[in-house]
Amino acid sequence: MTSAPRSARIWLAQGAARMRLRSSTLTCDSGPCGVVIRCLLEWHRFSKRAGRGDSREAARLGCARRIAAARDPARPHSRYAPARGGRRGGPAYSRLQQKPGDEDMNRFLKRAVALTLAASALSAWAQAYPAKPIRVVVPFPAGGPVDQTARALGAKLSGSLGQAVLIDNKGGAGGLLGADAVAKAPADGYTLLFSSAGALAIVPHLVPSMPYNPQKDLLAVTQVLKVPAVLVVAAQSKYRNFADLKAAATGDASKVNYASAGSGTTPHLQAELLRREAGIQISHIPYRGAAPALTDLMGGQVDMAVIDIPVVLPFIQSGKLRALAVTNSKRIPVLKDVPTVGELGMPRAEAYNWYGLLAPARTPADIVAKLHGAVGAALASPDLKQQFEQQGVEIVGSRPEDFGPFILSESERWGALAKAVGAKLD
């Protein structure tokens, strides 16, 4: 064994003299650090008693004995702890037994560590999201305005998120079936809902026993669009403006009627809101969808309808329908000559359909934030902005904390009106 450097010998001599270091006071006396320290002390002690050659051999033997003892599985790994698989250690052990409350503290620490590790795992998982294609459920048939908007938005999200966004049309019960499927899906961000005001704020008031709770089982991500409606009549109608229509529909003798996409739908309740605010008498003729309603409207079988602008705008622009008013708070650029309901003296008749993105409740906040950011970036793209502007709709892109309360307020508003007019789900 070679002699230690001079600096090490000086450090050991001074340390031993100044601190009176003894092996019996080392807290790690059986661990690697304790063995190394005692080996150095052994070398220092024997080097004082004998010549250099003898001290080398004595120190070597002493270190060998200590290392062998440290490796003995039956030996306590410290004088204050139980032996490895054997009996308890030295007498000092009794002074270090757990005190009352130590077990609770240990349990608390274990739980804190577990929660920290779980949070770290969730954070890492959210950072990797999405790792596979995302399914967006549209609770209406393919080809409608909600479906078309979802597909346009999904194409943009596929590029920004780096994964395919697949549109899954799951219609039925006014949007209830699709929303229920998402509410019961895993809260991992891979099953989302793209829906409208009708399914989220009206239908829950028309079903006696809901299969899910819209406020508790779904999590708002963002309101995507605000969709005004248009009061329309046929191009050949005798009603040239709203004043003509109001004059004909005033009084009990009124025979003016209106078409809707069905009882309890957004066109139904928007027309009822207009009726109440204008003080007119109009009769409801429900259809099974907007398409047959518009067919009869253009054919002169019914007098009027209040329907979302993306649905009726092509017919207005082609001259098949005439617009008398919009339910927006301000004029719409693509229908700049059509007055708002506020201009006509009915500000409380302002009403909108709206489209939004939602996720199952308990979806991690990091994933919700990522989805919200991706939707915001998509809505800022020039081509989507141009597309929505040409449709007469307004981009919103609200925050999750704003969209949730908005849905609740809309639900209260439309729910009260649905109850007042006796709306039922067809």
In the block, tokens 């063995």 appear at: 35
Which H or E run contains 405? Answer: helix 400-421
DSSP, res 347: G
> In the chain, pLDDT over 70 holds for what percent of residues?
70
Span 209-243, pLDDT tens digits? 999 999 999 999 999 999 999 999 999 999 999 99
45 pLDDT higher than 90: no
Residues 6+ apart with CB under 8 A from 191: 134, 135, 137, 181, 182, 185, 359, 360
* C-alpha pair distances (Å), 41 with each of 13, 15, 33, 263: 9, 10, 12, 94
What integer pLDDT is reported at residue 214 of this predicted model? 92
Spatial CA neighbour of 93 closest among 78, 115, 106, 111: 78
Distance (Å, rounded) from C-alpha 320 to C-alpha 297? 10
- Round the average pLDDT of the chain to a whole number and report it: 83
Least confident segment among 66-75, 166-175, 358-367 = 66-75
Helix (H, G, I), strand (E, B) or coil at 399: coil
Distance (Å, rounded) from C-alpha 46 to C-alpha 64? 14
Span 118-143, pLDDT tens digits? 555 555 545 699 999 999 999 999 99
Distance (Å, rounded) from C-alpha 60 to C-alpha 56? 6
Amino acid type, 44: H
What integer pLDDT is reported at residue 259 of this predicted model? 98
What integer pLDDT is reported at residue 207 of this predicted model? 92
Confidence of residue 15 (pLDDT cuts 50, 70, 90): very low
Contact status, residue 395 vs residue 224, Cβ threshold 8 Å: yes
Outline where 299-381 has alpha helix (H).
309-317, 365-379
Structure tokens at 11: 């450090």
- What average pLDDT score do residues 332-358 get? 98
What integer pLDDT is reported at residue 425 of this predicted model? 85
Least confident segment among 25-29, 301-305, 322-326 = 25-29
Structure tokens at 53: 């050659």
Contact status, residue 426 vs residue 288, Cβ threshold 8 Å: yes
Distance (Å, rounded) from C-alpha 271 to C-alpha 280? 11
Q: Which domains does the chain have, with CATH numbers?
A: 6-96 (no CATH), 134-223+357-421 (3.40.190.150), 227-352 (3.40.190.10)
Contact status, residue 409 vs residue 192, Cβ threshold 8 Å: no
Distance (Å, rounded) from C-alpha 195 to C-alpha 146? 7
